[in-house]
């Protein structure tokens, strides 16, 4: 009897990952026979674990915090969007034994913001908090929506400034520290820091969200994250967490691995319903 194809997500920490659930729902929906697991892999074991997974018959991997830049380095070939991001969240073992790296975070976020939540980004002022691997993946697709301005604020200011140099050719992007946000207003604030994972909120001026503005936390949890709650308190029109993005980026990875695109809406609805009943 043939074994199901094996896939996994590597990250550190990883215990709260919803990716195995999402890919199980995709597999059931599309009739694909596969197994998808979550593995706690610290950075110092990343490369050996990837090699062992593929040597042992694994077909594809997702890489999450804090492994995306390492995954970019490890890939033998990369998609254009991964090259631009210098961060990889999806690895595919090709027939010739080479490892292909893609980045599906940006298209995943855009699908959720634009198609699922109905936000129009053209002409808006966007603030991204954080300058890690996730921010690298979302910058180019966000700038392609032609915002009026895109500011990246990061705890380590130099990292934000590096991104403005790397992505400045794509649109009006600017990097700074949190202190430089005083007196500024934004239509969309995206939290791409890892602060939510430890229950923290990045330091934000009270009046930074423009009237009619929206908040989006890339992180997701069973309960609203501190940043989602902050957005609700500031009367954000939309204050959402990253579960929709997670499903959308996963669908793009599934397409790369299996050649079939699952429907995302029913999976998002299932996960939302499971969250409601878990409360």
Among 193, 214, 239, 264, binds ligand NDP (CB under 6 A): 193
Among 28, 179, 197, 260, binds ligand NDP (CB under 6 A): 197
- Residues marked as catalytic: 68
User: What distance lies between CA 35 and its chain's CA centroid?
Assistant: 22
The torsion region of residue 127 among left (phi > 0), alpha (psi -120 to 50) and beta comes to beta
Within positions 116 to 155, which residues make up the interface with ligand NDP, using CB under 6 A?
A: 130-135, 154-155
Distance, in Å, from the CA atom of 191 to the CA atom of 129, rounded to the nearest integer, reads 5
Residues 6+ apart with CB under 8 A from 269: none
Q: What's the closest the beta carbon of residue 1 comes to ligand NDP, in angstroms?
A: 34
DSSP state of 76: S
Element (H, E) at 74: helix 68-74
Q: Decide: is 29 part of the binding site for ligand NDP (CB under 6 A).
A: no
Residues 6+ apart with CB under 8 A from 201: 195, 226, 227, 230
User: For ligand NDP, which is the closer residue by CB, 124 or 154?
Assistant: 154
Piece of the chain touching ligand NDP by CB under 6 A; list 52-60, 76-84, 192-200, 262-270: 192-200
123 known member of a binding site: no
Residues within the interface to ligand NDP (CB under 6 A): 65-66, 68, 105, 108, 130-135, 154-156, 159, 192-197, 200, 202, 218-220, 242, 245-246, 249
């Amino acid at each position: 009897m043939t074994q199901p194809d094996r896939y996994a997500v590597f990250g550190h920490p990883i215990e709260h990952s919803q990716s195995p659930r999402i890919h199980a729902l995709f597999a059931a929906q599309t009739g694909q026979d596969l197994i998808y697991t979550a593995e706690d892999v610290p950075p110092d074991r990343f490369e050996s674990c990837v090699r062992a997974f593929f040597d042992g018959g694994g077909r594809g991997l997702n890489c999450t915090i804090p492994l995306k830049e390492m995954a970019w380095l490890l890939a033998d070939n990369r998609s254009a969007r991964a090259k631009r991001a210098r961060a990889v969240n999806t690895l595919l073992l090709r027939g010739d034994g080479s490892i292909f790296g893609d980045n599906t975070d940006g298209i995943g976020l855009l699908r959720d913001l634009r198609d699922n939540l109905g936000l129009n980004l053209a002409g808006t002022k966007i603030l991204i908090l954080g300058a890690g691997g996730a921010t690298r993946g979302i910058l180019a697709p966000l700038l392609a929506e032609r915002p009026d301005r895109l500011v990246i604020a990061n705890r380590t200011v130099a990292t934000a400034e590096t991104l403005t140099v790397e992505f400045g050719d794509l649109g009006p992007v600017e990097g700074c520290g949190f202190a430089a946000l005083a007196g500024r207003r934004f239509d969309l604030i995206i939290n791409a820091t890892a602060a939510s994972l430890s229950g923290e909120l990045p330091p934000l001026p009270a009046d930074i969200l423009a009237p009619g503005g929206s908040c989006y936390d890339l992180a997701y949890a069973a309960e609203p994250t501190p940043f989602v709650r902050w957005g609700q308190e500031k009367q954000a029109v939309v204050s959402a967490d990253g579960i929709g993005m997670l499903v959308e980026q996963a669908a793009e990875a599934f397409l790369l691995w299996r050649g079939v695109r699952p429907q995302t809406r029913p999976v998002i609805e299932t996960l939302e319903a499971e969250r409601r009943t878990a409360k």
